[in-house]
Structure 1
Amino acid sequence: MIKTIASAVLTALLLTTAAHTQTPHFQPAPPLEQGHSHNDYWRPHPLFDALQLGFKSVEADVFLVDSTMQVGHERAALHPTKTLQSLYLDPLRQLNGQLYTKPAELWLYVDFKNDGEATYAQLHKVLSRYRNMLSTPQQPRAGGVRVILTGGYPRQRILADPNRLVFLDGQLTDLQAGLAANIPTVNGNWKKTFRWDGVGKMPAAEATRLRQLNDQAVRTGQKVRFWDLPASTVAQRQAVWQELLRYPALLVGADELVELKQVIDKQR
């Protein structure tokens, strides 16, 4: 009886894993320039749910565990089958550059969650096996995958690496001329930068600050991504999205991809 129950549980786990990692039917969509899939790995079909809507930017949190790049928000959620390769790199290689209805880069954010030095060393080994699909600092590739590191990465080591295959996500202070080739995007905590929470009209001074950040990013050739956006209600988060979408250099991160796409489509 116990063996039967154990066998049934194991079978269920294997089926669940298979269902999670199975490549779904995929039809390329027109690329969305400003959409960013926050915590993309939480979705029923990581990567594909975002691509199906045209999102050009997805984010995966990565822990280095025994030389494997496991994807998850925290250690308790990790599983050996859910790796950067299985959820992202292998499916992307299978798609062979056919990601959108026209050539466009996918930005794959890899958020380092532990041991930056060791994680970078292992990531470089892994990415070397996918070099032909990557858009790198040395070799841009139309329709390629641009890997952008965020989180606890070893900045100076990476910038000093002449063979690096990745780009970096900087801070707002990195919004500077001459940095876009290595640091194409910067990020900031919304709630530490602005007080407006999506209720009522954005204060004039803060609206000016947001416009200035966009204008500066346009001049430097970079993108700006804010996180911890107000999201207590649908109305609040959509008000913030609508304000961000006014400015082409701002990426808009969301958990609610279909909802964000609807807002984007209305503002086109």
Structure 2
Amino acid sequence: MACLTVLLVLVVLVLTVHAVYDHGDYHDGSSDTILANLGLSGSDSQPPSQYAADFLRDVVPIACHSHNDYWRKVPLFTALHAGCIGTEADVWLVDDDLYVGHDQSALTPNRTLQSLYLDPLMDILERANPSTNASSGISTTPRGVFDMSPNQTLSLLIDVKTDGAATFRKVLEQVEPLRQRGWLSTFDNGKVQLGPITLVGSGNTPFHVVIENSTYRYAFFDAPLDQLEDSMYNSTNSYYSSVGLRQALGIVWFGWFRNSQIERMSEQLQQAHERGLKARYWSLPSWPVQVRDAVWGTLIYEGVDLLNVDDVEAAAHADWTKKKSN
């Protein structure tokens, strides 16, 4: 009987760890209080850009990616306040507009890519880059969203959910104002130039649409991290290189990686870095906290470029200094 009880307890623990790979903890901690005055993104009253610029002034960027960012009480701004240098939106093309939501039944008229992300980013960057006289001697290099690190690019990951080509071409159409102002990262005549925003296509985004212009582009691909060997993915056409943790490495029992998993991870990270890509594993555990923190710590130590997180407040307080020496 004692053995059966122990076995049942272990099964429950295993099922719990399995479950958290697909369900996140979206409590944003103290950020809720700080951001309360901004209102709800996507509502009739958008967050005041001046206030947004003020509360971002002392934010130190950290290598985290805000997973399913649009689920937060205040999309985009909560992640930026935590210092995340990547944010993510699931995008659906419906009636010639782009809506943001986890599934089609969750789409609402006031939650669009434009209202939740593109318009607020335009506001922030316009505040950060006021028009200046070229003869004044002031640098015209565009500043990013983080005042403490103005050269840091913010990756805007678009997870396309509807028809790939049509949806991503609509994305390119809607980001045109950012491109015209020189605020998007580009590939131009053989050279990649990072700008304040790096647009990354994922999900159903077709690679051939991203690279259809061989000499100039202002969007990049989310390359499969576990399929880089002998591939054509590199920094001229891709920015992220991502894969699900379990898909790439198998089950990480109770947050502890086996030696074979560490070796496989090292190979994948090396392949990504040789190609100039930012490696990211998604579908990380969010609970129990001890399991989550153990996985986070290992990924940071091994050199993952962006930590895919649901609890951005916890990520802001993680120890980002413990990294393996090369």
Q: TM-score range by the shorter chain?
A: 0.7 to 0.9
> 8 Å contact 1:230–1:236 — kept in the other structure?
yes
Partner-residue secondary structure (3-state), 1:237: helix
Any stretches of 5+ residues in structure 1 without a counterpart? Answer: 1-14
Structure 1 residue 31 and structure 2 residue 61: aligned?
A: yes
Structure 1 residue 165 and structure 2 residue 194: aligned?
A: no
Amino acid at match of 1:115: D
Following superposition, the deviation at residue 35 of structure 1 comes to 0.5
> 8 Å contact 1:116–1:153 — kept in the other structure?
yes
Amino acid at match of 1:30: V
Residues 20-59 of structure 1: matches in 2 within 5 Å? 21-23=46-48, 25=52, 26-28=55-57, 29-32=59-62, 34-59=63-88
In 2, the alpha carbon distance for the partners of 1:210 and 1:142 equals 27
Partner-residue secondary structure (3-state), 2:89: strand
CA deviations 1:111-167 (Å, max 9, x no partner) are 100011211221221122221221122285555101000000122133123453210
Residues 1-268 of structure 1: matches in 2 within 5 Å? 18=43, 21-23=46-48, 25=52, 26-28=55-57, 29-32=59-62, 34-96=63-125, 97-100=143-146, 101-102=148-149, 103-131=151-179, 132=181, 133-138=183-188, 143-162=195-214, 163-172=216-225, 173-174=227-228, 179-199=234-254, 201-265=256-320, 267=322
Amino acid at match of 1:86: S
Any stretches of 5+ residues in structure 2 without a counterpart? Answer: 1-38, 126-142
Measured at CA, do residues 225 and 20 of structure 1 come closer, stay the same or move farther in structure 2, by a change above 3 Å?
Answer: farther
Following superposition, the deviation at residue 57 of structure 1 comes to 0.5
Partner-residue secondary structure (3-state), 1:129: helix
Larger Rg: 2
In 1, the alpha carbon distance for the partners of 2:210 and 2:195 equals 24
Partner-residue secondary structure (3-state), 1:91: helix
> 8 Å contact 1:198–1:230 — kept in the other structure?
no
Partner-residue secondary structure (3-state), 1:59: strand
Measured at CA, do residues 134 and 105 of structure 1 come closer, stay the same or move farther in structure 2, by a change above 3 Å?
Answer: same
Root mean square deviation, CA, Å = 2.4
TM-score for the superposition, normalised by structure 1: 0.85
Following superposition, the deviation at residue 22 of structure 1 comes to 2.5
Partner-residue secondary structure (3-state), 2:187: coil
Per chain length, whose mean CA-contact separation is higher, i.e. which structure has more relative contact order (CA < 8 Å, sep 6+)?
2
Amino acid at match of 1:121: R
Partner-residue secondary structure (3-state), 1:157: helix
In 1, the alpha carbon distance for the partners of 2:233 and 2:242 equals 17
Following superposition, the deviation at residue 263 of structure 1 comes to 1.6
CA deviations 1:179-205 (Å, max 9, x no partner) are 221112211121122234252642111
Measured at CA, do residues 238 and 200 of structure 1 come closer, stay the same or move farther in structure 2, by a change above 3 Å?
Answer: closer
**Percent sequence identity over aligned pairs:** 30
In 2, the alpha carbon distance for the partners of 1:99 and 1:190 equals 29
> 8 Å contact 2:223–2:233 — kept in the other structure?
no
Amino acid at match of 2:97: T
In 2, the alpha carbon distance for the partners of 1:127 and 1:54 equals 23
TM-score for the superposition, normalised by structure 2: 0.71
Partner-residue secondary structure (3-state), 1:239: helix
